[in-house]
Structure 1
Amino acid sequence: MSDEFKQAALDYHAKPRPGKISVEITKPANTGADLTLAYSPGVAEPVREIAREPELAYRYTSKGNLVAVISDGSAILGLGDLGALASKPVMEGKGILFKRFAGIDVFDIEVEAEDPQAFIDTVTRIHCTFGGINLEDIKAPECFEIERVLKSTCDVPVFHDDQHGTAIVIGAGIYNALKLQKKNIEDIVVVCVGAGAAGVASAKLLIEMGVRRENVLMLDRKGVIHSRRDDLNQYKAAFAVNTEKRTLADAMEGADVFIGVSGPDTVTPEMVASMAPNPVIFALANPDPEIRPELARSVRQDMIIATGRSDYPNQVNNVLCFPYIFRGALDVRATAINEQMKIAAVRAIASLVHEPVPEEVARAYGGTSLKFGPDYIIPKPTDPRLLGVVSAAVAQTAVDTGVARKGYPSHYPLKTVDDIFPAELG
C-alpha cells in the first residue's frame, strides 16, 4: 500500500477522536428523576427481577442485542500473531459492521491469554453479559478447540467468523457457480489450499452440502493431506485421503473446484488449464489472490472465478453473513448456531442473486447490470435484502431445530424458511 493510503488509514482511526466505536445512552438521563430510575434506587428493581428469573435480563438490559467480539490477537488478518492489543482496531472494525448492517451493539474484548485454556476461562466467566460471542482472529488449530469448548459451556451462540462466516459465503457462491456450470455437488472434486480455520470449516460445510469426503483434496504447506502422512493433527487428519497425489499441481489436474485460503500467486496458469471442463475457482487470499482473474482467464474461458477483493466480480466477503446470522440468532434468543442454521444461511444468501437487484445496489456499483451469471454468483455487501432474508432463515431454523428460547419474531418479513427460496434452490 502507498504511503498516502497508510496515512489516510491512520488518520481515519485517530481523528476527530481515537477509535471507531463508542457507547451511547438509550434512556433519558437529564433530570434527578431520570437518574433515580437509571441508577440508585431504581436500578434495584430490575436487579431483583433478574435474580429471580435470569431470562428477564433480556427484558431489562441490553444483553439481547449485545455481542462480544473477542480475540487473542494470534492470527490478525494476514498479519499473524501480533498480540491482543494490536487486534483492537480489527475488533472495533467488526463492531462497525455489526452495527451498520444489523443494528447489533458490540463490546470488543482483547484477551491476553497464556494458553487456550486461559482464553476459554476468560470468555466463560464473562459470557453471561452478552447475547452472543463472536470469536475472531484466533490461530488454528487452537481456534477449533476453543470454539468447541465454549459452545459446550456457554448458553449463548458462539461463532468463530474466520471459520464459519467464510465457509457460509463460500458455500453460497459454490452452490450458485455449480448451477451455472451444470455440475452436481455429489460428483465434484474439490481442491482446498489452506488447512487453517477457513479451509477446514469450508471443507466441512461443503461436505454437509453434499460433496463426498473422498473427493476433497486439502493441502497444507507440506502438500496434499493424504493417509500416509504421520504429521497431521486431528483436524487435518479428518481430511486425509488415500491418493497418490502429492503436490498442488497433482491435485489440480481434473479438479472441478479450487478453494484458496492460503497466500498469493500459489496457482499457475498451467494448473488452471489442467482442471476439469467448466471449473470453479475461489482464489480468496487477500489482498493478493492465489491467481488473479485476468491471468486465469488467459488460459480458461469456461471458468467462474471469485476472489476476496472488491475490485473484481464475485467478492467473497464475510459481511454477507455474520451480522445477519447473529441478528436472527439474537432475535429468537438462540442458545447456539447449529449446522442447520449455517446451511439455512447458505441457501438464503444464494437465493438473492436469483431475484431482481434493488436499484440502490445497482447504483452503488456504477449502474452495472447485476444478473445471475458468471460475474454475479454472490450478493453485493450493500444489498439491503440480506438483513431480512438471511436473518429470517436463521431465526426460523433456530426455532425449527429447538435451539430458540423465543418464537419467530412477528415483525420479520417472512414466516417460513421455504418462503425465502426460489423453487429451484429447493
Structure 2
Amino acid sequence: MSNAWSILNNPFKNKGTAFTNEERKRLGLVGTLPVEVETIEQQAKRVYDEYKNRPEGLQQRQYLMEVFDTNRTLFYYVMQHHIEELMPIIYDPIIAPAIEKYSEIFQRPQEAAFLSIDNEDDIKESLKNAAAGRNVKLIVATDAEGILGIGDWGTNGVNIAIGKLMVYTAAAGIDPSEVLPVSLDVGTNNETLLNDPLYLGLRKKRVYGDKYYHFVDSFVAAAREVFPDVYLHFEDFGRDNATKILKQYQDKIPVFNDDVQGTGIVCLAGVLGALNISKQKFTDQVFLTYGAGTAGMGIANMMYREMRMEGLSEEEAKKHFYLVDKQGLLFEDTPGLTPEQKPFVRKRSEFANADELTNLEAVVKAVHPSVMIGTSTNPGAFTEGVVKAMAAGTERPIIFPISNPTKLIEAHPEDIIKWTEGRALVATGIPSAPVEYNGVTYHIGQANNALIYPGLGLGVLASKTRLVNDEILSAAAHSLGGIVDTSKPGAAVLPPISMLQSFTKTEARAVVQSAIDQGLAGEGITDPAKVTEEMQWTAEYTNED
C-alpha cells in the first residue's frame, strides 16, 4: 500500500481535506484529495449538517461512525462541540439497536480486539495486532452477557465497549489512540444470534465456570504484559460474574466495573446532591433498593461504604438498607440469594407482617425509606400508591427510577412530582425534560454513568494510581457537589450532561488528590491540576511527519 493510502486510511493520522499543500507534497498526497484546503471548522460544519439530514436514530449513528472510521480527530471535534445532542446517538439509547444489528451492518472492526475462548493462546498476539503499535492505557472489555436493558448479545456487544470509549474521549479528553475496545467472546445464549447466518461471533452456548475464569485471567495477564500501565474497565458482564471478576483484581491492579461501581457512584453523587437541597444528613437516610441485581447491589454497596466513611459501624450502617427484588423484601431465608445480597438481607423477626412484604407498596409502608432507587427494569413499578406511601413518611423523598431505556422506567418524573406535590427529589437514568408544577420548573438530574466514569478514568490515568479503591470512588462522587446551584427552586440533584466536559476535570483532580493522599499515585505526582491538564487530548490537527 502506498504511503498516501496508508495515511488516508489511518483514522488516527488522516485529516482529509485539511492536509495543507505542504503536507500533501511531503506525504505523497498530491492529487489524492480535492484541491481546496479546509479548516477543521469547515469540515465539522459539513459533518454536522449531513448528520442532521439523516433520519433520526440509527442512521445518524451509522453516518457518525463512518466519520469515526475515517478521521478520529474530526469525529471528536464534532462530538465535543455538540456533546449533549450527540451523546444519545453514539451511546445510550441508540447504542441498543446498533448492538442488535452489529453483525448485520458490520463494515469495519474499529480497532477493537476480538478474543475467543476457543483461541486462548492467541490473546497476546490479538492485543498487539489490534493496538498496531499504539501505547494503550485504557481498555474497555465486555463479554456482553448483560447489555443495558437488552441482555446477552455476544460479539455484537463490542459496540458497547466502542461507545464507552467514545464517551471517555468526548467528555474527558482521553487520547483516542491510547484506548482499546475488547470483545471477550465466550459464546452466547441468545438463540436469535446462534440461528442468524450473519452472526460474527462464536456459534456456541456461553462457557461458564473454571474455563471461563481462566480465559478472563489470561486476558488480564496478557493485557498487563502488553500494556503495563493499562487501566481496565469491565462492562456489561453477567450478574453472576461481574462482581466476582471485580473482586478478583481490584486489590491488585487499577480496575473498574461500571455496572457494579459506576451506577453506585453516580447514585451516591445524586443522593449527596439531593441532601444539599434538603439539608439532611447522609447517615440519617433509609435506603430501599428496588432491583437487587448487579447495578442495585453496586448502589447499595456504594451507599453502605459511604455510611462507613461517615463513621458508622458495620452493624449500624447495615440497618439503613432494605433490598426488594421479585420476591419482595429479601430475608435471610429467601431462596437463591447472591453473595452480594446476603450482607443486606433482613430478619423476619423484625416485622410482625413479614410474610406480607411481597410487594413494593407493602415494603415501603413497613420500612419508611427516605431514598428509593429503582434498577428493576420493571416499568411502572413506582406506582402512585408506592410514591404516596413513601412521601407520607419523609419530608423530601429521594426517588431515582433509573432503569433504562425509557420503556423500562419505574415511574416518570412528572408523575412523581405531582404525586408528592413537588416535594420529591428526582433523578432518572434517561434524559428527562423539566417538569412544570405549581409555578415551579423542576429540573430532573440524569443518573447517567457518563457523569462519573470519564472523569474518574482521566484521574486514574493522570495519577498513575496503583489501585482504584473506595476512597477514590467516593472522592469522584463528592466532586460533583457544588456544581448545581441548590438554592434555586426545582434545582436538579445532578449537573447536566451539557456541563460534562468542564466537571470531568474537577472530578479528575479530586481523584488524583485522593490517590496522592493515600500514597497510591505514581512517583513524582504532586500537582492534580498539572497532571490532569497534561493527560488531556484535544481534538485539533497536528503537523504530520
TM over 0.5: yes
How many aligned residue pairs are there?
358
Match of 2:375 in 1: 261
CA contact (8 A) 1:158 1:336 kept: yes
Task: Please state if 1:150 is matched with 2:267.
Answer: no
Match of 1:31 in 2: none
How big is each residue's C-alpha offset from its partner over 1:193-247, in whole Å with a ceiling of 9 and x where there is no partner?
A: 1112221111111112228312211122222111232421211111111242332
**Aligned-partner SS, 1:298:** helix
How big is each residue's C-alpha offset from its partner over 1:135-183, in whole Å with a ceiling of 9 and x where there is no partner?
A: 0011112101111112245x3x100011211111111110121232243
119-128 vs 195-204, which moves further: 119-128
Q: Partners of 1:377 and 1:6 in 2: how far apart?
A: 28
Task: Please state if 1:281 is matched with 2:399.
Answer: yes
Q: How far is the alpha carbon of 1:409 from its aligned partner? A: 5.1
Q: Partners of 1:376 and 1:149 in 2: how far apart?
A: 37
Q: Partners of 1:17 and 1:395 in 2: how far apart?
A: 30
CA contact (8 A) 2:143 2:184 kept: yes
**Aligned-partner SS, 2:140:** strand
In structure 2, the CA distance between the partners of 1:414 and 1:10, relative to structure 1 (3 Å rule), is closer
Q: Partners of 1:17 and 1:102 in 2: how far apart?
A: 17
Q: How far is the alpha carbon of 1:9 from its aligned partner? A: 4.7
Question: Identity across aligned pairs (percent)?
Answer: 24
Match of 2:492 in 1: 376
In structure 2, the CA distance between the partners of 1:17 and 1:316, relative to structure 1 (3 Å rule), is closer
Match of 1:173 among 248, 270, 273: 270
- Which aligned pairs between 1:307-346 and structure 2 lie closer than 5 A? 307-312=428-433, 313-346=444-477
Match of 2:182 in 1: 109
Q: Partners of 1:385 and 1:16 in 2: how far apart?
A: 25
Q: Partners of 2:284 and 2:376 in 1: how far apart?
A: 25
Q: Partners of 1:208 and 1:102 in 2: how far apart?
A: 26
Match of 2:516 among 391, 396, 399: 399
| Counterpart AA for 1:12 | Y
Unaligned runs of 5+ in 2: 1-53, 76-132, 187-206, 309-316, 434-443, 533-545
TM-score (norm 2): 0.61
In structure 2, the CA distance between the partners of 1:148 and 1:20, relative to structure 1 (3 Å rule), is farther
Match of 2:294 in 1: 197
CA contact (8 A) 1:127 1:133 kept: no
Match of 1:15 in 2: 66
270-279 vs 125-134, which moves further: 125-134
Unaligned runs of 5+ in 1: 25-60, 355-369, 416-426
Task: Please state if 1:66 is matched with 2:163.
Answer: no
Match of 1:51 in 2: none
Q: How far is the alpha carbon of 1:107 from its aligned partner? A: 0.4
In structure 2, the CA distance between the partners of 1:111 and 1:389, relative to structure 1 (3 Å rule), is same
240-249 vs 158-167, which moves further: 240-249
Q: How far is the alpha carbon of 1:86 from its aligned partner? A: 0.9
Q: How far is the alpha carbon of 1:292 from its aligned partner? A: 0.6
In structure 2, the CA distance between the partners of 1:126 and 1:7, relative to structure 1 (3 Å rule), is closer
TM-score (norm 1): 0.77
CA contact (8 A) 1:189 1:256 kept: yes
Q: Partners of 1:226 and 1:21 in 2: how far apart?
A: 51
Q: Partners of 2:474 and 2:527 in 1: how far apart?
A: 23
| Counterpart AA for 1:150 | Y
In structure 2, the CA distance between the partners of 1:8 and 1:372, relative to structure 1 (3 Å rule), is farther
Task: Please state if 1:124 is matched with 2:238.
Answer: no
Match of 1:353 in 2: 484
**Aligned-partner SS, 2:322:** strand
Q: How far is the alpha carbon of 1:123 from its aligned partner? A: 2.2
**Aligned-partner SS, 1:219:** strand
Q: How far is the alpha carbon of 1:408 from its aligned partner? A: 3.6
221-230 vs 186-195, which moves further: 221-230
Task: Please state if 1:87 is matched with 2:157.
Answer: yes
Match of 2:336 among 209, 222, 231: 231
| Counterpart AA for 2:380 | D
| Counterpart AA for 1:216 | F
CA contact (8 A) 1:131 1:333 kept: no
Q: Partners of 1:390 and 1:339 in 2: how far apart?
A: 15
| Counterpart AA for 2:280 | K
Match of 1:420 in 2: none
Higher Rg:
2
Task: Please state if 1:296 is matched with 2:424.
Answer: no
Q: How far is the alpha carbon of 1:20 from its aligned partner? A: 9.4
**Aligned-partner SS, 2:522:** coil
CA contact (8 A) 1:21 1:96 kept: no
Q: What value does the CA root-mean-square deviation take over the aligned residues?
A: 2.8
**Aligned-partner SS, 1:111:** strand
